[in-house]
Structure 1
Amino acid sequence: MTRVRHNDYGVLRPPAIGDWTPELRVSVVIPAYDCQEALERTASALAAQTYPAELVEIVVADDGSTPPVELPGARVVRVTGGWGRGAARQTGQLAATGEVIHWLDSDMILAPDHLEAHMRWHHLLDHAVVIGDIRFVTAPGEEGTQPEYTRRTLESTRMLKDAGTSAYLLHTGASTSVRAELLRAAGGVDASLNMAEDTELGYRLAQAGAVFVPDPQARAWHVGPSTVMLREKEVHRHNWSFLGDLVPDLRWLRGHPRRHWRVPYVRVVVRATTYEETRASVDAALAGTLPDAAVTVVGPWGRLTGERRSSLDDPLLDLRLLHNLYAHEPRVTFAESEPVSAAPTPFLLRLPPGWVLGADTLAGLVRLADEDVLGLLCVALAEDADGVVAARLERTAAFARAARFDGPADDLVDELFGVLWVEGGEHGFGTAAEPPPLGGDAAKWRALAARRLAESKELRAQVERLSAEVERLSRAQDEEDPAPGPLSSLIRHLRSAG
């Protein structure tokens, strides 16, 4: 299976339509609510597909239609225990038996090779998410137009090849397809969402290692405008009320500096040692300038039982004190072992015992990782008899994708996303023996001071480079004309400024 770096699926070579032999079964899942006429039109288009009919299953998830929808040749399942698009999609995919789930809206008209265009990618890559080319029309037979946001995004990212971590934003339920195994690894559809369930699912598929492929040959036409086209501001007002909680990647929705969010942006993993040492690490992680960080403290918590004991001579005293301290802190969780993944959280920082983060350390590491969409950032902290002691900032999506291939995880992550080593002292790491002072405002100003210091160092380095260049030019001029010139004055000015 070909390895795709970031989202650059250009290394894949899909076969020409009509010139290959399909093998995978696909379940076309259609949520439906009081749309019998539109559904029959969509079914007619499905019946005319070039993809082998014996490999196609149609599942209609009826979300309480009155009267219930009927569709010969399809399996109709009723949505129970909930309602709305999320519940319908989840009900449909749970009932599906195909190796690929193809989401389809009920008011779509498909080109005859629509399914085939989608499916050829899934035969190449088991973690592809294929996005159809949808045009909106007022009536069947029109050419239609592509949504402006979609058009601009595709043009500015080389058809999502350069989209970095944001490719999932074009994921839509109108016509997308995904391997059933990848969908279930990502957690399926959030049945509680009635809108934006496709965006939220796209985000979790990205964390599961998905590659998003928009295919202009997977043509389809949506009859009538979308809800976003008709009521864009109201849709955003509705969806942004909950997407900030679920999709930490949407940073503009997380402007509040003190709020607790359901899905953190970074999860810091700390192994419990002494009460004082562990507390210093946890408190520093929670007090940084990145407000949506959470901490997992790893230890044998199951040994903390309720029998009578000596309060001060308890052999598990340090462990018990830590549990007391953070039992009611919503951003701290307790685990018996280190998590393999932080999904759906996009970053996981593994912090060695005895080390603490500076005020802006976590935010700075994330910024550095995002500059080149790195999969792993290793921070060298010290060296002991066992080797280099390092903290690791792991990108969830990178390690999820690497897990699909055989080989050392770090080597695969380097190939698929990139790995960088940095020095801990340059990024504000310290030891628990001398923990930094905590506090919201103090943390903010300390981080600002650290950034300004780094900027001043860079400016001084620039002055030195310019001074050297000007001095070189001055020497060259003096060899031609020994009389004093403006370059000499410029050199003196630059030296005094440095």
Structure 2
Amino acid sequence: MTKVRHNDYGSLRPPAIGSWDPILTLSVVIPAYDCQGELERTLAALARQTYPAELTEVVVADDGSEPPIELRGLPGARVVRVGEGWGRGAARQAGQLAAAGEVIHWLDADMILDADHLEAHMRWHHLIDHAVVIGETRFVETPGEEGVQTEYTRRTLESTRMLKDAGSSAYLLHTGASTSVRADLLRAAGGVDPRLDMAEDTELGYRLAQAGAVFVPDPEARGRHVGPSTVMRREKDVHRHNWSFLGDLVPDLRWLRNHPRRHWLVPYVRVVVAATGYEETRACVDAALAGTLGDIAVTVVGPWGRLTGERRSSLDDPLLDLRLVHNLYRHEPRVTFAETPPVSGAPAPFLLTLPPGWALGADTLSRLVRLAEPGMLGLVCVALAESADGVVTARLERTAAFSRAAFFHGQADDLVDEMFGSLWVSGDEYGIVPVAEAEPPSSDVAKWRAVAAKRLDEVKALRAEVERLSAEAQRLERPSAEPVADGRRLSSLLRHLRSAG
């Protein structure tokens, strides 16, 4: 199986349509609600597909239609009713749970597909088992028109070489209108969130990316969506609705996380530390929680199952240090306890493992992530010290990179380096120190933020003064004593503004 670096799927060579022999089974899953007429048109297009009918099933997830959806004239098609919840997320999840195919193909109920649409998708799934294929959806007013892509889709594809250069944001084009994914990859990513009635496809796309997916837009997988999408009709309302919850679920959308102190459901970085002595563990965890990168979570690994509730000596308990750590953080929402280290950071995009006895600096995580992001590095190893057992290291792992590596045989670090790249840096350079040397996590971060806010206010005031003086200077035809003074003041303000940032 070919290895894809980042999202550059150009190394894959799919066969020409009509020139190959498929073997994978396919389930087309269509969420439907009160759309019998549109659905019949979509089913008619599915009946004409070149992908073998004996390898294809159609599952329509009826989301409470009245009267219920009926299927006519398409062998291999069946209806499942949404049992719990309602909306597109619940319907998609109910449909994929009922599906038996090795590949799940999402399809909207108002799509008209070209005859080779399914075959175009399936070529990629026969090449690699972690592809997410995105069909070319064009919007038309009436059937038979050529239609157009959305402006957002067109610009994104043009600016990223058809997502080959999209990096970690390729999932943003994932849509329920016409995409396909291996069923085992979908389920490894957690399936569809049934609580979401909108943006469930974006949120699922993010989790598929963390599961190691390669996103492939195929212009030969053509389909036409009859009528405008909800986004096309009510873009501002859709964004207002979706952004209220996507910030919690998709940490990659950094601009939705501009609050300095909020707790978010899915962290940007998960930090893993081992529970050792009480004071040492506290120093490690507190330093991580006090950093300038606020949307993190800490997993403390230890034998927590040994903390039973029988009578004991409160001060001479053999497990006293472990119990004190648990006491300290059991009500902290950003700290969880685990018996074993997590094998993946998912759904967080980054996992940082910190060895015992070391503490992060206030800006360590922010700087390490900024180091990893531009080149989409899969691994940053931070050398901390040398011991008899070798080099003591902290590791920042990109979740998507290690998930991708798990599809192949070999050493994970080597595979990640090949497909994403890796780097070694010094702990001194990035502020990781022994806990004995760590600064207490007092109010330094808050103080820095306060200072930064004050400087921003000063910059705003200075810019306003510069604008006032510039406007006055333009009104004066020739210099005089007063304008000269103002000119000096302007020069001084410009110097101050530059020094203020």
TM-score by length of 2: 0.88
Q: CA deviation at 1:311?
A: 1.0
Q: Superposed, which structure 2 residues align to 1:427-442 within 5 Å?
A: 427-442=430-445
- Do the aligned partners of residues 447 and 268 (structure 1) sit closer, same or farther apart at CA in structure 2, a change above 3 Å counting? farther
| Partners of 2:304 and 2:339 within 8 A in 1 | yes
CA distance in 1, matches of 2:65, 2:97: 20
CA deviations 1:445-478 (Å, max 9, x no partner) are 39999xxxxxxxxxxxxxxxxxxxxxxxxxxxxx
Match of 1:170 among 173, 182, 191: 173
Q: Does 1:193 align with 2:196?
A: yes
Which runs of structure 2 are paired with 1:152-301 in the superposition (5 Å)? 152-301=155-304
Q: How does 1:32-51 map to 2 (within 5 A)?
A: 32-51=32-51
Contact 2:26 2:104 in 1 (8 A): yes
2:24 is equivalent to residue 24 of structure 1: yes
Cα shift readout 1:42-72 (whole Å, capped 9, x = no counterpart): 0000000111111110000000000001113
Deviation of 1:434 after TM superposition, in Å, equals 1.9
Is this contact kept in 1: 2:268–2:349, CA < 8 A?
Answer: yes
Deviation at 1:81, TM superposition (A): 1.1
Secondary structure of the structure 1 residue equivalent to 2:356: coil
Q: Distance in 1 between matches of 2:100 and 2:354?
A: 42
Aligned residues: 449
Q: Does 1:135 align with 2:138?
A: yes
* Aligned-residue offset at 1:4: 0.4
Letter in 2 for 1:51: Y
Structure 1 residues 219, 444: CA separation in 2 closer, same or farther (over 3 Å shift)? farther
Indicate which of 377, 382, 389 corresponds to 1:379.
Answer: 382
Is contact 2:139-2:225 (8 Å) kept? yes
Paired letter, 2:335 = V
Structure 1 residues 434-473: aligned runs within 5 Å: 434-442=437-445, 445=448
Q: 1:119-148 deviations in whole A, cap 9, x for unaligned?
A: 000000100000000000000011111100
Write the distance in 1 (CA, Å) between the matches of 2:211 and 2:139: 30
CA contact (8 A) 1:359 1:446 kept: no
Question: Is 1:349–2:352 an aligned residue pair?
Answer: yes
Match of 1:306 among 306, 309, 316: 309
Deviations 1:327-360 (A, max 9, x none): 1000000000111011111100000000000110
Aligned partners of 1:358 and 1:429 also within 8 Å: yes
Instruction: Confirm or deny: 8 A CA contact 2:31 2:63 kept in the other structure.
Output: yes
Q: CA deviation at 1:441?
A: 4.5
For the residues of structure 2 that align with 1:339 and 1:108, how far apart are their CA atoms? 41
CA distance in 2, matches of 1:181, 1:448: 50
How many Å apart are 1:294 and its aligned residue? 0.7
Give deviations 1:171-205, integer Å, cap 9, x for gaps.
00000000000000000000000000000000000
Q: Could you list the runs of 4 or more consecutive aligned residues of structure 1 that deviate by over 6 angstroms after TM superposition? A: 446-449
State the match for 1:14 in structure 2: 14
Q: What residue identity is the alignment partner of 1:9?
A: Y
| Cα deviation code 1:281-304 (max 9, x no counterpart) | 000000001010110000011111
Aligned pairs for 1:83-102 (under 5 A) are 83-102=86-105
Superposition deviation, residue 416 in structure 1: 0.9
- Name the counterpart of 2:482: none
**RMSD over aligned Cα, in angstroms?**
1.3
Cα distance in 2 for partners of 1:444, 1:437 equals 14
Report the Cα distance in structure 2 between the residues aligned to 1:65 and 1:307, rounded to whole angstroms: 55
Cα distance in structure 2, aligned partners of 1:378 and 1:448: 32
Please tell me whether the aligned partners of residues 289 and 444 of structure 1 are also in contact (alpha carbons under 8 angstroms). Answer: no
8 Å contact kept, 2:290–2:445: no
CA 1:420 to 1:443, structure 2 compared with 1: closer, same or farther past 3 Å? farther
| Partner residue, 1:2 | 2
Alignment-mate amino acid for residue 43 of structure 1 = L
1:491 corresponds to: none
Q: Which residue does 1:320 correspond to in 2?
A: 323
In 1, the alpha carbon distance for the partners of 2:443 and 2:222 equals 52
Q: 1:359·1:443 contact (CA, 8 Å) conserved in 2? A: no
Give secondary structure in 1 for the equivalent of 2:128: coil
- Is the Cα contact below 8 Å between 1:356 and 1:432 reproduced in 2? yes
Distance 1:189-1:440 versus aligned 2 partners, 3 A rule: farther
Find the aligned partners of 1:20 and 1:4 in 2 and give their Cα distance. 22
Q: Does 1:150 pair with 2:153? A: yes
Counterpart among 424, 427, 435 of residue 424 in structure 1: 427
The corresponding residue for 1:410 is 413
Instruction: Indicate the residue corresponding to 2:368 in structure 1.
Output: 365
Letter in structure 2 aligned against 1:294: A
What are structure 2's unaligned runs of at least 5 residues?
453-501
Letter in 2 for 1:66: E
Within 1, Cα distance between the matches of 2:400 and 2:445? 33
Note the C-alpha offset of 1:442.
Answer: 3.7
Q: Is the 8 A contact 2:291 2:445 kept in 1?
A: no
Q: Could you tell me how far apart the structure 2 residues matched to 1:407 and 1:447 are? A: 49
Which residue of structure 2 aligns with residue 389 of structure 1?
392
